[in-house]
Amino acid sequence: MKVRVLGAYGGNTKRTYLTNFLINDVLAMDAGCLTSTLDLEEQYRIRNVLVSHSHMDHITSLPFLADNVFGETDETLKIWASDHVIQCLKKHIFNDVIWPDFSSIHYEGRPCISFHSLEAFHSYTIAGLQITPIPVNHLVPTFAFYVEDAKSGFLFTSDTTTTDRVWSEMNGKEKLKAIIVDCSFPNSLNDLALKSGHMTPELLAADLKKLNRDCRILVYHAKPSFESQLKQELKDAGLGHIQADIQGECFEF
């Protein structure tokens, strides 16, 4: 399973792109920067998009992707998310005010996009992979995604602060090879992290003690202003083995 990290930050600058992962070139996980990091031919290959939650840094490029692929592919672009996220996208984005409702715009008899509801702890076959949504602890309803094929699996926690269920679920996953986990703020902002539904190195170190499996740990969602501080505090917390610079990387799990 190939995972390209298109964007790995919780803030947007010239060099820091918003959250976005591309699996096996055809399945997008979140949509922070699809259209600013992929050329058109790469965008045309995407048939499915998983959306973890409704916050802007995870959906920014979704309207532009719908626009770019309209009439250029032989399949409807499928958006997979919780009912909450789908309602938010329909009400606030694809509403014919902020952006056209591409689910009602048809080309050769099919809609440009379609919405598909995900339920927690149910497994779905999407783009040849098994996807299991797991609720995590954030400001709005948010899913982590456990993704697996016949040989391996990895977890994307999405945005979360200290949580329990996702770790207990992973302790039972024999094929788990890697976890991509939130770490947004420095330890001095622990209170803000808890209130906003994010991790600090200190909170992450405590949470990882709930995991009883050895696997690769990758962190994402650093706020650009705190990037250097976060790297140092991860080391100080005994998490120096964790990889923090993952944007632009391509992993094989």
CATH code, 180: 3.60.15.10
* pLDDT of amino acid 226: 97
Show the domain range for 49.
Answer: 2-252
Give CA torsion, residues 127, 137, 210, 27, to 10 deg. 10
Contacts of 150 (CB under 8 A, 6+ apart): none
173 within 8 A of 152, measured Cβ to Cβ: no
* pLDDT of amino acid 109: 87
pLDDT per position in the chain (253 positions), as tens? 999 999 999 999 999 999 999 999 999 999 999 999 999 999 999 999 999 999 999 999 999 999 999 999 989 999 999 999 999 999 999 999 999 999 999 988 899 999 999 999 999 999 999 999 999 999 999 999 999 999 999 999 999 999 999 999 999 999 999 999 999 999 999 999 999 999 999 999 999 999 999 999 999 999 999 999 999 999 999 998 899 999 999 999 9
The total number of structural domains in the chain stands at: 1
